[in-house]
């Protein structure tokens, strides 16, 4: 195995900047690694070999050393629900199996401007609906720590790519935990930024009031570096917040003296594996030994989060996915029978079962006579969840919980149990409902599989959770352990 692929993005960017390695060397090494392990993990739906090598060559031949971007020459992977000009973008769905976008997502333009080089589009649950990547229309990805297990979802391909050393950087999207849960299961770092911090323009929407793009990396510093590139106001996204963006790398320092940690009792109850709970509590004790102060707290409205989410998210999906009708782009049924028949046939052929189910649930929840009973009440519960967090952050700087209630499960193990599958996101969904930032970092192993530690922060206070996460990371060696493939 090449030692180059084990290096962090911060290290690789410096090596390229100092001309100790070329972008072409780095990209060639990365593509070789992808070719070696991709048959085992199936992280990718598209590998952009020619595009990546051409970009690397152009970078090496034309760059002025004084004008190298923050990520000059560094490879990255995109979840396949983010638009890329002229590069196949499927969102894990057969209904978009022939879709080549005419424009880039804003995050892609920002990564390109920073000199980063796209090496592929990662597999994901169809339209980001799932917790295991088993709902992809193109087959599941696999966990690099045990290829019989799921990598999590919906950003499972991005997580497995980073965990399998196929790329130092990836972007995922997080609607109910889809960055943090697969990051936990694959032993990497994953951050969901505050809603509105990162532009959603060019992200194929699932639930617009919940979706957020974020970094997936192997180290906290790499997450901070990637966030530096993608964060910031975008006039193309009406929910993008116009405010100054700090240098998140400056937050990466070992210092938790006086940090006030809240430990919500609702996140350590039934359904959370005892070994997961122990690893998280051990992590909290380590932070306390370094000067932090921890205290148990309560977030009672957490009990409403899962049920409320599975009304609000499908309701928004039923609206967002109405655009896939076989008329403008994407799959079109060949069995034509008028406009209504065409749409019905196209959607029947193109959508998978999970997507169909969520569209039907959402349409029902929004229908006349049921709107107040379901959607309105779910939004009211969402307000209670947000208020719980606001009260907690009046007292605490960071709230710490497990990321996932369990370690990675076997492929197919929960396929016939939709409730068990949905409970996989029970500890991450409340963060999306409130719009808060949260990061997952590895904090141990159980049965040879990684355990994730979730640090939740106040609105637009990514610096505090990055500092706490970095302090813990540097006091342990979890980020220095790699899956063996």
Active site residues: 79, 154, 178
Q: How far is Cα 23 from Cα 20, in angstroms, rounded to an integer?
A: 10
Q: How far is Cα 409 from Cα 16, in angstroms, rounded to an integer?
A: 39
Q: Cα separations (Å) of 96 from 76, 80, 138? A: 22, 11, 11
Find tokens 């130092």 and name the residue: 168
CB 10 within 8 A of CB 73: no
Residues 6+ apart with CB under 8 A from 347: 95, 324, 325, 326, 356
The token pair at 122 is 């990662």
How many CB atoms are closer than 10 A to CB 215?
33
Residues of 282-292 as b/e, b for ≥16 C-beta within 10 angstroms? ebbebbeebeb
Q: Half-sphere exposure of residue 283, counting CA atoms within 13 Å on the CB side? A: 34
CB 153 within 8 A of CB 143: no
Q: How far is Cα 184 from Cα 374, in angstroms, rounded to an integer?
A: 32
């Amino acid at each position: 195995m090449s030692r180059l692929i084990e290096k962090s993005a911060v290290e690789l960017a410096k090596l390229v900047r100092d001309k100790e390695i070329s972008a072409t060397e780095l990209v060639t090494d990365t593509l070789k690694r992808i070719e070696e392990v991709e048959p085992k993990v199936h992280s990718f739906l598209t590998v952009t070999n020619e595009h990546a090598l051409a970009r690397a060559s152009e970078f090496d031949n034309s760059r002025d050393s004084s004008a190298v971007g923050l990520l000059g020459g560094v490879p990255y992977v995109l979840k396949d629900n983010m638009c890329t000009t002229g590069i196949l973008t499927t969102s894990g769905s057969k209904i978009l199996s022939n879709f080549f976008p005419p424009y880039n997502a804003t995050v892609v333009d920002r990564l390109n401007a920073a000199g980063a080089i796209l090496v592929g589009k990662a597999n994901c649950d169809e339209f980001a609906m799932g917790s295991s990547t088993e709902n992809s229309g193109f087959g599941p990805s696999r966990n690099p720590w045990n290829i019989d297990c799921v990598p999590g979802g919906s950003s499972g391909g991005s997580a497995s790519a980073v965990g399998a050393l196929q790329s130092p950087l990836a972007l995922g999207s997080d609607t109910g935990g889809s960055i943090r849960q697969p990051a936990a299961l694959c032993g990497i770092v994953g951050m969901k930024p505050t809603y509105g911090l990162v532009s959603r323009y060019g992200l194929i929407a699932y639930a617009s009031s919940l979706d957020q793009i974020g970094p997936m990396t192997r180290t906290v510093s790499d997450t901070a570096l990637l966030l530096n590139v993608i964060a910031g106001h975008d006039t193309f996204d009406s929910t993008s917040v116009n405010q100054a963006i700090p240098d998140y790398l400056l937050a990466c320092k070992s210092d938790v003296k006086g940090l006030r940690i809240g430990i919500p009792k609702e996140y350590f109850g039934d359904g959370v594996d005892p070994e997961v709970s122990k690893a998280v509590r051990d992590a909290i004790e380590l932070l306390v030994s370094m000067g932090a102060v921890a205290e148990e707290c309560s977030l009672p409205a957490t009990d409403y989060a899962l049920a409320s989410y599975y009304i609000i998210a499908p309701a928004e999906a039923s609206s967002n996915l109405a655009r896939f009708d076989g008329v403008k782009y994407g799959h079109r049924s060949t069995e034509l029978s008028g406009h209504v028949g065409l749409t019905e046939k196209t959607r029947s052929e193109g959508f998978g079962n999970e997507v169909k189910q969520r569209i039907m649930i959402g349409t029902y929840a929004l229908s006349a006579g049921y709107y107040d009973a379901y959607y309105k009440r779910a939004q009211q519960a969402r307000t209670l969840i947000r208020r719980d967090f606001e009260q907690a952050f009046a007292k605490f700087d960071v709230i710490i919980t497990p990321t996932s209630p369990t370690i990675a499960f076997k492929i197919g193990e929960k396929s016939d149990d939709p409730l068990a599958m949905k409970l996989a996101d029970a500890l991450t969904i409340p963060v999306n409902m409130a719009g808060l930032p949260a990061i997952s970092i590895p904090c141990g192993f159980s049965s040879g599989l990684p355990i994730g530690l979730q640090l939740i922060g106040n609105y637009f206070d990514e610096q505090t959770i990055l500092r706490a996460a970095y302090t813990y990371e540097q006091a342990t060696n979890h980020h220095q352990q790699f899956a063996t493939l």
